[in-house]
Amino acid sequence: MNGYIKRVLLGVDQFLNAATGGDEDETISSRAGKARCQGRWWGRALCWGLDKIDPGHCANSIEPDEGKQE
């Protein structure tokens, strides 16, 4: 059951990323991590919040082979 829940949450994450203009195969955390590296305010803000819950979350989530290199 744990694997099932993880896959569903990953699907929701990718869906929300696609619904906000991102690539359908990339997570929001990966997209935000790339945006933070480029100094975009929304990437810095989202990663700040996620890193409070899980330190290094955005940096560890960057998928260089998915999505645009915004």
16 falls within a domain? no
Q: Please list the pLDDT of the chain residue by residue as tens digits (70 residues).
A: 689 999 998 999 999 999 999 999 999 999 999 999 999 999 999 999 999 999 999 999 999 888 865 5
59 falls within a domain? yes
40 falls within a domain? yes
Considering its fold, how many domains does the chain have in total? 1
33 falls within a domain? yes
Structural domain for 49, as ranges? 26-63
CB < 8 Å & 24+ apart, contacts of 13-18: 17/67
7 falls within a domain? no
CB 16 within 8 A of CB 33: no
Q: Comparing C-alpha atoms, which of 19, 28, 11 is closest to residue 63?
A: 28
11 falls within a domain? no
